[in-house]
Structures are given as structure tokens and as C-alpha cells.
């Protein structure tokens, strides 16, 4: 039995909610049934535009072509589409290439809107349908181009009004903010109880608590989740905590996407102070810095944060992490030992270091001796990053000037293909420089936020308060101290006879570990 494949494509979410899928499917099924063909209706590019050709490179159409070329789809099969504009709305030469690729592969392309069939045999006898097909594709491309320009200009105007006049671009906003009034004349405002949750999430993150712990606390306290109706979650999840922590809207920044023709996203202008801020920008970057200082691959911390030196304490023999061992009340208390030696996996240093003497010694050394080294190191790092940012900015200025000159040359009727290629290259270079500048800017702010919000004396003072706290407050304070230590210390090397603290950016201190 001859097999037919229906190719269904629509480009927007609104079309998905509407009638586009059902209409295209029913028409393909009727056409196949009338001819006794077996229909395969799994070939779909839902939410892909044909204007830029991405579906032909990445989507179901590319998969179909691969199957034809490999022989899994037999020559002589039919590909049913609603109309040629569903196949491609690219420029005419590119669109025609899509059609010819299919026909050369032995597939007959059927367009239901006009009943045309495009096959190798028919076109060899009568090429006039090609004229019609090219006209259809040219019209489709022109319609998409004009629509894209109109949509792009409309969104550009919305971005301008948002930036210059504070006008709301859309009713869609973060979960802790609501729109009062309509988008054209309304304003955004914080939802007080939700903004309070945002602030607590950032405070806990800076204090050293992880996403799971924060989500667990919200759930234990029966804190209502956000969302309405079916969108309301039953509990807080660490993934949503991460989304809040990563969203610059918490300090008021809006980063809209410019809608280009075909629905492609392109970074739009950054609009500061667009939303009401739930936290200060400095707090946002302090949280990013706190997250970045957490070590990867060192195990999950306990909820009580018993080991403040997790991931910092290293064996002087093999470099492995020291592990926290606590055999209960009958033992002499928790100890640190080389993880490799403890697992009998290569290291022979089985020295046990009594944790109750190690912890206060480290706190004392950091708070009293190494504070100036830490501050100096952070200032040096920030200065180096600022120089890198200034160099990128200078490169961008030069590239923008060159681009302006080339565009003026083209506008005056000069240039040609070579100049057009140079324009594209400069545009790509400017985009890459802009992305690099954004990364370095974030690194500068993170380095500034790394300057601990408490000084060395305050660190020791918090440590001394541990004995007067209940379990939950104690866990939170220990998490704070652990986070501060990770922002200050690179590693602590334990040898048989000594313990050496290596500070971030330089500086060392030798410790005396008390005890019996």
C-alpha cells in the first residue's frame, strides 16, 4: 500500500490553542482515505516558524529528509501539506530548494489548498506548476517579512515606552508582583507577603542554606505556593527557588526579548527599575557569590551543618577531602580523617584530628590574623576584572564606529557583497563583545559581594553565640559561618604535625590544634 505522510507545522502558541492542528490533520486524513493510502500523521513541527528555515535544519522536516535518503521512507511516498507556505516562508531561492530536495528524493509533495501534486515525473512533462509554486512561496515570504517588521516595530515601541515612560509592556510578571490596571496605563506593585518570601530566600542563601533546605523550610511552615487555580503548586521545590535566585527582576531589572519575524527570541534592551524591587541589587549579587563559592563534588551538607569545614579540609599527603566521622556518645567526639585513608583507597595517613579543637582554632585564625589579606585579595580581583571590562568596552566602541561607517557606505550606494559580509562579521563581533561585557560585569559585582558582610570580630562573636541558640537558629547560624569561611578560605591542609590555612588570593596561617 502506498504510504502518505502529513507534515503539520504552525509557529505560535496561539495557533496551538486554536484550530490549526485539527484542521490540517482532518484534511490530510480525508485526502489519504479517498485514495486508499496509508497515512502517517506523526510528522509535525509544532511551534516552529517556516520564515527562517529552522524547521528544515532541526525539526521534523529534516528528520523526514534523512529517512528518505536512508531508504526508511520509500521513494514514491507522498508528503501532504496544507500549502507551500507551510513548507517554507524563506526567501524564494531557499524555499524552492526545500521543495526540490524532496522531489529529487523521489517524494511527491501534495498541497491540499489547491490540489497540486509536485513529482519528478509530472514536472519533467509540465514545468508550469513550478511557476505557480515559486509565486506562492514568494508571496508567503513577503507576507511573513512584512508581518515580522510590523511585530518587531510594535515591540520596539513597547520597549521604548517601558524604558522612557515606565509603561508596562505586558500583564505577565513575576510571581511576587502584580499589575494594577491595564498594561497601557497600569503599574506594577509588590505583593507584600510574597516579596517577604523573596527576601527571606536571598537572606537564607547568603547565610549558606541550599535550595533544598530553603524549600523544605517553606513547606514545613506551610507557606502558600504561588499561582492560581491549576497553576498553583502543592509544595515548594528547589527548582523554583533556583528560578527566583536567578531572576534579576527581584531588584527591578527587566530583560525583554525582542520578537523577530518567525518568533525567534533576541535579547532586547535591559530596563533597570522597571519592576518594583523586592531586594537591593547588592543582595542579589551577594547571593550569586554565595552560590558560586559552594564547592562541587564535596557531598551534601547535613541540615545541622555539623562540619563547618566541609570541602575545605584537605589531606596533606594525597590532597583528598577530610571526612567528618562521629561514632556517637561513646567515642571521644567527632573527628576529621583523610577520606581516602578512611576508605582504604590509597592513602596511609590515618591521623584523626579532634573536630572540637579544630573548628575554634580555624575561626580564631581567620577572624584575628587573615582578615587584611582577604580584603586586599578581593580588591585586587575586582581591579583586574574592571580593567578587563574597560578593554572590552573600548573594543566595542571601535567596532561600533566601523559598523556605522560601513552602513553609511551601503546607504550611499557603495560596497557590495564584500561590505555586506563585513557588516555581518562586525555585528557578530559586537554581539560577542556585549555578551562578554555582561559576564565580566556580573563577575565584578560577585567579587564585590564576596567581601564578607561581617568583619572578623563579628564572625568570632557569632561563633560564641552558638551555645545559646535553639536547633533551627543554630543550624542557620552555623550555615552562615560555613558560607563565610568558604568565601575566605581556599583550603586547609592537614599534615601530621601542622595545619595550614590558605586564604583565597594568597596568605597563609599555621594553626595550633589544642586538645589532649
pLDDT tens digits, 79-109: 888 776 655 544 445 656 777 788 888 889 8
User: Can you state the angle between helices 192-207 and 471-488, rounded to 10 degrees?
Assistant: 60
Write out the H or E segment, with its range, that includes residue 155: helix 128-165
Q: How confident is the model at residue 137 (pLDDT cuts 50, 70, 90)?
A: low
Buried b / exposed e over 295-309, threshold 16 CB at 10 Å, is eeeeeebebebebbb
In the predicted model, is pLDDT for residue 338 greater than 80? Answer: yes
Mean pLDDT confidence for 368-382: 58
Mean pLDDT confidence for 318-323: 91
Across the chain, which distance is largest between two alpha carbons, in Å? Answer: 101
Supply the pTM of this predicted model.
0.47
Contact 211, 242 (CB under 8 A): yes
Chain mean pLDDT for the chain: 73
- Greater confidence (289 vs 308) lies with 308
Query: According to the model, what pLDDT value does residue 240 have?
Result: 92
Residue 25 burial (CB < 10 Å; 0-12/13-18/19+)? middle
Beta pairing partners, 511 = 499
Task: Give the Cα separation of 487 and 477 in Å (integer).
Answer: 15
Mean pLDDT confidence for 113-124: 82
Task: Give the Cα separation of 482 and 289 in Å (integer).
Answer: 14
- What count of Cα atoms within 13 Å lies in the side-chain half-sphere of residue 240? 19
Is the domain defined by 166-292 classed in CATH 3.90.1750.20? yes
Q: In 3-state terms, what secondary structure has residue 420?
A: helix
What class is the 3-146 domain?
Answer: alpha beta
Q: How confident is the model at residue 13 (pLDDT cuts 50, 70, 90)?
A: very low
Write out the H or E segment, with its range, that includes residue 376: helix 371-411
- What count of Cα atoms within 13 Å lies in the side-chain half-sphere of residue 292? 15
Write out the H or E segment, with its range, that includes residue 357: helix 355-368
502: phi then psi, degrees, rounded to nearest 5: -105, 115
Query: According to the model, what pLDDT value does residue 201 have?
Result: 94
Task: Name the percent of the chain lying above pLDDT 70.
Answer: 62
Query: According to the model, what pLDDT value does residue 457 have?
Result: 55
Residue 288 burial (CB < 10 Å; 0-12/13-18/19+)? buried
Contact 308, 485 (CB under 8 A): yes
The length of the chain in residues reads 516
Query: According to the model, what pLDDT value does residue 261 have?
Result: 33
Q: In 3-state terms, what secondary structure has residue 257?
A: strand
CB atoms within 10 A of CB 233: 11
Contact 350, 338 (CB under 8 A): yes
Mean pLDDT confidence for 9-19: 42
Query: According to the model, what pLDDT value does residue 82 have?
Result: 79
Q: How confident is the model at residue 167 (pLDDT cuts 50, 70, 90)?
A: low
Q: How confident is the model at residue 349 (pLDDT cuts 50, 70, 90)?
A: confident
Task: Give the Cα separation of 277 and 218 in Å (integer).
Answer: 22
**The three three-digit cell numbers of residue 418, written as one number:** 564584500
Amino acid at each position: 500500500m502506498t504510504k502518505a505522510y502529513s507534515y503539520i507545522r504552525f509557529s505560535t502558541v496561539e495557533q496551538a490553542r486554536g484550530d490549526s492542528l485539527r484542521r490540517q490533520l482532518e484534511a490530510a486524513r480525508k485526502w489519504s482515505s479517498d485514495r486508499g493510502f496509508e497515512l502517517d500523521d506523526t510528522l509535525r513541527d509544532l511551534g516552529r516558524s517556516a520564515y527562517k528555515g529552522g524547521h528544515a535544519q532541526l525539526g521534523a522536516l529534516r528528520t523526514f529528509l534523512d529517512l528518505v535518503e536512508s531508504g526508511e521512507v520509500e521513494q514514491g511516498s507522498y508528503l501532504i501539506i496544507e500549502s507551500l507556505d507551510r513548507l517554507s516562508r524563506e526567501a524564494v531561492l531557499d524555499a524552492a530548494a526545500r521543495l526540490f530536495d524532496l522531489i529529487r528524493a523521489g517524494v511527491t509533495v501534495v498541497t491540499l489548498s489547491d490540489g497540486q501534486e509536485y513529482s519528478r515525473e509530472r514536472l519533467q512533462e509540465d514545468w508550469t506548476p513550478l511557476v505557480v509554486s515559486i509565486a506562492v512561496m514568494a508571496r508567503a515570504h513577503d507576507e511573513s517579512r512584512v508581518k515580522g517588521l510590523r511585530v518587531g516595530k510594535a515591540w520596539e515601541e513597547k520597549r521604548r515606552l517601558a524604558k522612557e515612560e515606565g509603561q508596562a509592556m505586558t500583564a505577565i510578571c513575576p510571581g511576587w508582583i502584580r499589575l494594577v490596571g491595564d498594561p497601557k496605563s497600569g503599574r506594577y506593585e509588590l505583593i507584600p507577603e510574597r516579596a517577604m518570601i523573596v527576601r527571606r530566600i536571598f537572606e537564607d542563601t547568603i547565610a549558606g542554606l541550599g535550595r533544598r533546605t530553603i524549600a523544605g523550610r517553606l513547606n514545613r511552615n506551610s507557606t502558600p505556593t504561588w499561582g492560581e487555580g491549576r497553576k498553583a503548586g502543592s509544595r515548594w521545590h528547589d527548582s523554583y527557588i533556583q528560578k527566583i535566585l536567578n531572576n534579576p527582576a527581584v531588584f527591578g531589572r527587566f530583560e525583554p526579548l525582542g520578537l523577530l519575524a518567525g518568533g525567534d527570541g533576541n535579547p532586547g534592551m535591559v530596563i533597570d527599575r522597571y519592576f518594583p524591587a523586592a531586594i537591593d541589587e547588592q543582595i542579589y549579587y551577594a547571593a550569586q557569590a554565595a552560590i558560586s563559592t559552594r564547592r562541587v563534588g564535596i557531598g551534601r551538607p547535613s541540615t545541622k551543618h555539623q562540619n563547618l569545614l566541609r570541602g575545605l579540609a584537605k589531606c596533606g599527603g594525597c590532597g583528598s577531602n577530610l571526612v567528618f566521622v562521629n561514632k556517637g556518645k561513646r567515642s571521644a567526639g567527632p573527628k576529621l580523617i583523610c577520606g581516602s585513608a578512611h576508605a582504604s583507597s590509597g592513602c596511609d595517613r590515618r591521623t584523626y584530628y579532634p573536630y572540637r579543637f579544630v573548628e575554634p582554632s580555624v575561626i580564631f585564625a581567620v577572624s584575628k590574623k587573615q582578615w587584611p589579606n582577604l580584603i586586599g585579595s578581593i580588591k585586587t580581583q575586582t581591579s583586574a576584572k574592571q580593567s578587563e571590562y574597560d578593554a572590552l568596552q573600548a573594543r566595542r566602541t571601535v567596532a561600533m564606529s566601523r559598523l556605522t561607517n560601513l552602513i553609511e557606505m551601503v546607504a550611499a550606494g557603495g560596497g557590495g557583497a564584500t561590505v555586506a559580509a563585513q557588516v555581518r562579521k562586525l555585528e557578530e563581533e559586537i554581539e560577542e563583545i556585549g555578551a562578554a561585557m555582561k559576564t565580566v560585569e556580573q563577575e565584578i559585582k560577585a567579587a564585590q559581594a564576596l567581601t564578607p558582610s561581617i568583619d572578623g570580630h563579628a564572625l568570632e562573636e557569632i561563633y560564641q553565640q552558638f551555645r545559646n541558640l535553639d536547633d533551627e537558629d543554630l543550624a542557620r547560624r552555623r550555615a552562615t559561618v560555613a558560607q563565610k569561611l568558604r568565601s575566605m578560605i581556599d583550603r586547609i591542609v592537614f599534615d601530621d604535625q601542622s595545619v595550614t590555612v590558605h586564604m583565597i588570593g594568597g596568605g597563609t596561617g599555621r594553626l595550633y590544634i589544642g586538645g589532649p
